[in-house]
Every structure is written in structure tokens, then in C-alpha cells.
Amino acid sequence: MNKDTEKYIWPGVISHYRSWIKIDAAAEPVTLLEGNTPLIRAANLARALGGEIELYLKYEGLNPSGSFKDRGMTAAITQAVADGAKAVICASTGNTAASAAAYAARAGLQCFVLVPEGKIAAGKMAGALAYGAQVINIQGSFDDGLAMVRRAAQESPIILVNSINPARMEGQKTAAFEICDVLGDAPDWLCLPVGNAGNITAYWMGFSEYYLAGLSRKTPQLLGVQAEGAAPIVRGSMVERPETVATAIRIGNPARWQDAVAALRDSKGHICAVSDAQIMEAYHLVAQSEGIFCEPSSAASLAGLKIQLQRGDLALQGKRIVCVLTGHGLKDPDSATATIAAPVVIAPRMQELWQVIGYKN
Ligand code: F0G
């Protein structure tokens, strides 16, 4: 390999940000070269949302297993291997399961994932199974699963890789670093969906650390978004039976609730809830105005931004705003096919084709 090419090769988030990542310093990274995801300017979408804003999308669906979870998982699995683990476990609404399964496969660890039966998107189940995890469907919610895996990790040598694991935060905060590195500063606002509240916690860590080190001139205000049927932080109380089309954030008792509240307070941010209809509208809008396909939960951040632009009580107009698109649309193909008109069917005859498309000379 020639020396010039070498410097363009991305080594994954641990190696790229090694001095910032508080895990075992000697550990050899277990990596799939996650991170370095595109920050895409979205002028069409900004107009469609009704904002005079400089809008960017951090397209985290382009990580190796299709979601932002890979950033934290590379760190958690690297640390688990350094600690001599043989097996890891997590509860998940789907993406953490697929990510844990992928990195565990890479590391040669056994992986157990607990998911709410019938409530995870097809692509996530497919991933977790394909990477060889032992998938356990529970007849309950994500929150039930989390309580069980906490116990399992306390009462066995199995390592918990949910975002309660501090190594997860160390990896996930690199998304904030990347945004600052690309923009040359933190944005004015960072807008993201909130489920178990690990991601909002990690972003705030990352932005704060860069600011304290003098690598950005400010920290962003955080706009967190929950689904109306699963909005414990917005309501200020646990949701016993969370329900939303955005299954990734179908969580009633987030593990990092208090950290999220602190991040929202310290960033002078805000958290709001959006309806399933608003989520699905935003989901179609970003795909059709920008050619970027994300899963419904990711679109919650856009739906939240839209309603806040309409309400006008946050200082958003004229600002530089980054929305995090946390997972790829292909994770959840059913959400697309169930909500968009089915393809037309024709016989293999030109006449029928012309009838559909018009345009003939
Ligand atoms: N977006 C997607 C696509 C997610 O999968 C999740 C969480 C979130 C947003 C919310 O992030 O939990 O850090 O606040 N998914 C977890 C999982 C719960 O099991 O995959 P959070």
C-alpha cells in the first residue's frame, strides 16, 4: 500500500479516536471499521420542514450492521475480550441485538439477545440470526428484557453490552467528535430520537469533551424526541405499556433516564414527543426529498424538528442543525411497503408500459 493511500484508510472509531476512548489502553480493537459516516447537507428537507435552517443529516444507518450501535459495540466488545469474557448478553429493540451479534461473531464470543416477541423489525431479527446470536424472544417489553439481562450479568460471568456498560458510551460519543471534525465546530442544535437514552448521553459526553479540550467553540443545544406512546421522559413518569410504530424506541423506562435529563438541562435543550403519524410523514419526506432511507425511529428526530419549527418557541431559525438518522431504512422494510402504494402490475407489453409512464415521443 502506498503511503498516501494509507492516510485515507479509516481504521474504525477506537483507533481513530484512541486517546479519547476510556477502555483498556492495550486492548486490540474488535472493529468492523464502523464510524466515519457521512454528514449530509439536506437543503430540500430543510425547505420541506419549513425552516430557514442549515440542516445536516448524520447518516448512522451506514454503519456496518446498519445502525449507530456499532460505535459503542466496538468498544464494549473490545473491553469484554480484554476482560477475558466468553459470552455477552443484551436486551434490545433490535439494533443493539444485531450489532452485539456482529461484533461478538468477529471476536469469537457467544452472544445472547433478548428481544420483545413480534415487536422488532425484520432486518434486525435477520441480522441477529445471521451473525449467529442466540436470539431469545420474550413475551414482554424491552424493559422486561433489560431487567432480566441485568440479573443475568450480575449472576454469571456473562458481560452486559447494553448502554449501561460504560464502554458503550465511550464508543458512541465518537459521533459527536466526527460532527465537530467535519463542521469545524459543534452545531447550534443536535436533534435525535431518544429510547433507552444512551445515545443522547453519549453525544453530550462527546460534545462536552471536545469543548473542554478547545476543539470546538461551543456545545450544541440538544433536542430529544420520543414517540408519544413511549415518552416517559417527556411525561416525567414510566410508561407501563409503551406502543409506537417506531419499535426501536418503544421503551417505557429508559436506563439512562437521569443522564438524559442532565444532558438536556446542561445543553439548554428540550425534549418533545411526536405522534406515529408525524413520524411516518417525516420518514417518507426524508426518503423522497433527499434520497435517504432511514427507519421510522430515526425519522422521529425530523418530526420533532418540524413541530418545533412550527411552534417557534425554540431558537431554531437561522441555525445550523444536525439531525441524527440512527438506523438504516432497510432494517425495517415492512414499514415502507405497508405505508406506500403497492407497485402497479402490467403484462410484458410495451403498450401497457407506455400507458403507465406516459412520455412516448
Ligand atoms: N434509533 C434507533 C434506530 C435505535 O435502535 C435506538 C435504540 C434509538 C434510536 C434510541 O437510542 O436507546 O440510545 O436512546 N435502540 C436500542 C436497541 C434500544 O435495543 O437497539 P437510545
DSSP string, 179-241: HHHHHSS--SEEEEE-SSSHHHHHHHHHHHHHHHTTSSS--PEEEEEEETTB-HHHHTS--SS
Closest by alpha carbon to 296, among 227, 351, 345, 237?
Answer: 227
Position 6 pLDDT exceeds 90: no
The residue type of 165 is N
What residues contact 20, with CB distance under 8 A and at least 6 apart? 170, 173, 174, 177, 209
Q: How far is the CA of 311 from the centre of ligand 1 (A)?
A: 26
Antiparallel, parallel or unpaired: β 159-160 and 87-91: parallel
Is residue 296 in contact with ligand 1, taking CB distance under 6 Å?
no
The rounded mean pLDDT for the chain is 97
pLDDT in tens, 70-111: 999 999 999 999 999 999 999 999 999 999 999 999 999 999
User: Looking at residue 8, what is its pLDDT?
Assistant: 78
Is residue 253 in contact with ligand 1, taking CB distance under 6 Å?
no
Closest by alpha carbon to 40, among 55, 62, 50, 61?
Answer: 55
Is residue 248 in contact with ligand 1, taking CB distance under 6 Å?
yes
DSSP type of residue 158: P
pLDDT in tens, 238-287: 999 999 999 999 999 999 999 999 999 999 999 999 999 999 999 999 99
Q: Which residues pair with 190 in a beta bridge?
A: 222, 322
pTM value > 0.95 = yes
| Cell 461484533 belongs to residue | 103
User: Looking at residue 354, what is its pLDDT?
Assistant: 96
When pLDDT is cut at 50, 70 and 90, the band that residue 1 belongs to is low
Rounded to 5 degrees, φ, ψ at 260 are -65, -40
pLDDT in tens, 288-329: 999 999 999 999 999 999 999 999 999 999 999 999 999 999
Q: How far is the CA of 63 from the centre of ligand 1 (A)?
A: 14
End-to-end CA distance of the chain: 52
| Residue to substitute in 58, 65, 67, 250 for testing ligand 1 pocket (most ligand atoms within 8 angstroms of CB) | 67
pLDDT in tens, 197-241: 999 999 999 999 999 999 999 999 999 999 999 999 999 999 999
Q: How many CB atoms lie within 10 A of CB 314?
A: 17
| Cell 409506537 belongs to residue | 244
Is residue 197 in contact with ligand 1, taking CB distance under 6 Å?
yes
Position 3 pLDDT exceeds 70: no
> What is the b/e burial string over 49-82, where b = at least 16 CB atoms within 10 angstroms of the residue's CB?
bebebbbbbbbbbbbbbbbbbbbbbbbbbbbbbb
Atom of ligand 1 nearest to the CA of 163: 13
* Residue 209 buriedness (CB in 10 A; 0-12 / 13-18 / 19+): middle
Closest by alpha carbon to 278, among 253, 310, 248?
Answer: 310
- Tell me which of 323 and 341 has the higher pLDDT: 323
pLDDT in tens, 100-141: 999 999 999 999 999 999 999 999 999 999 999 999 999 999
Q: Which residues pair with 142 in a beta bridge?
A: none
